[in-house]
Amino acid sequence: MLTEEIRSQLKEGILPFWKGLKDEEFGGFFGFVGHDLKVDKKYDKGVILHSRILWFFSNCYLVLKNKDDLAYADHAYAYIKERCIDKENGGVYWSTTYDGKPSDTTKHTYNQAFAIYALSSYYDASKNEEALLLARELFELVEGRCKDAYGYLEAFDRQFRPVDNSKLSENGVLADKTMNTLLHVFEAYTELYRVGKDEKAAAQMRWMLDIFADKVFNREKKRLDVFFDSRMNSLIDLQSYGHDIEAAWLIDRGLAVLNDAAYDKKLIPVTRMLTETVYKRAYEDGCVLNECENGVVNKERIWWVQAESMVGFLNGYAECPEKTEYMEAVKKIWDYIKQYVIDKRENSEWFWALDENEKPVTAREIAGPWKCPYHNGRMCLELIRRNEVVK
């Protein structure tokens, strides 16, 4: 029942919405849909948005076996290859204009990671060797230009000269390094290693796992720290519940792909503790809250936090079947999403956020540079893939 409802939401809700944003004139997909459901066809096209769209359609094809989904992935790939890659300096831009010219030419490690992630999945779906070659080129660029002895540097100008990390900093701090970027570089390298068996990627996965276990994981507070200085010293008392539950299952996924007993032993206790901590601290009234800063909980209900929590708790249940409360949480969060988060209006998708009274935050868009089918689409795909665990 649950899996069939999820499959229906993917096929009848999320997929048609994103297919409807295909730009037949200038390529790629339209970059913005406001809360009023008006499509801004001249809004800049985010490269993260396009990488996530490429990942989404590639994986829809891999799971659902619908050739139409692969055609949309082909369309996204063409735009990234032709418009988003800086052929002179390397790397992908932050955004392009609506008609495909460089707009924000910032080179961000987070952005490079999502391109690697998407290109690797697209190669798996299409068997297009060029996509795998591009993913490997971006991997070499990140390793050569975007890291130091302590972790991954974050923001650069077009020529890869360091700039401030305002794009990935929040909560009143300007961070040199972030848990968020580290997590998604790890995610990208997991996919690159899975499809290409690049041993250099595997080596960097182990290096990042050590950083997660030794620097990012706060053992005293049983959470991941979020923002860091250049030497990976934490800057703020903050727990991001969504990132913690997402990290729990993404790290477990990376461990499964890596298949290294020593790292299983080191990291599995961490991922299990993260899952348990989010369940105890943030799971409330059938949903997962946003974050906690200096002991103050932000109770907004964010769309992606609910999606990642469903996968994270399902993963936790699969790892520890005696934790039946995790499976119950999966079902209740889905009920919450159905009732409040999915926008019932025609030609819409999911609301970005709800306030404490379950009212949509109308200031936030339905689609945009950060609002994409990556989190909710991936949740659907993961539950379909893990159907044998769902009860």
Rounded to two decimals, the pTM is 0.98
For the cut 90, the answer to whether the pLDDT of residue 1 exceeds it is: no
Q: Where do the domains of the chain lie, and which CATH numbers do they carry?
A: 2-385 (1.50.10.10)
d(CA 106, CA 94) in angstroms, rounded, equals: 5
Q: Are 239 and 223 in contact (CB under 8 A)?
A: yes
Residues 321-355: tens digit of each pLDDT: 999 999 999 999 999 999 999 999 999 999 999 99
Pairing of the two strands 45-46 and 95-96: antiparallel
Q: What single-letter amino acid sits at 128?
A: N
Tell the burial category of 264 from Cβ atoms under 10 Å away from its Cβ (0-12, 13-18, 19+).
Answer: middle
pLDDT score for 106? 98
Partner residues linked to 288 by β-bridges: 283
pLDDT score for 205? 98
Residue recorded with tokens 């992935």: 73
For the cut 80, the answer to whether the pLDDT of residue 391 exceeds it is: no
Average pLDDT in the chain: 97
What is the DSSP annotation of 88-117?
A: TT-SB-SEE-TTS-B----EEHHHHHHHHH
Residues 270-329: tens digit of each pLDDT: 999 999 999 999 999 999 999 999 999 999 999 999 999 999 999 999 999 999 999 999
pLDDT band at 22 (very low <50, low <70, confident <90, very high): very high
d(CA 114, CA 61) in angstroms, rounded, equals: 19
Residues 116-146: tens digit of each pLDDT: 999 999 999 999 999 999 999 999 999 999 9
Determine the average pLDDT of the residues in 261-270. Answer: 98
pLDDT score for 390? 80
Look up residue 39 and give its DSSP letter: B
For the cut 90, the answer to whether the pLDDT of residue 81 exceeds it is: yes
- Alpha helix locations (H) across the chain? 2-9, 15-19, 47-64, 67-79, 109-126, 129-145, 179-196, 199-211, 241-258, 261-282, 303-319, 324-336, 374-385
pLDDT score for 388? 83
For the cut 90, the answer to whether the pLDDT of residue 389 exceeds it is: no
d(CA 211, CA 270) in angstroms, rounded, equals: 12
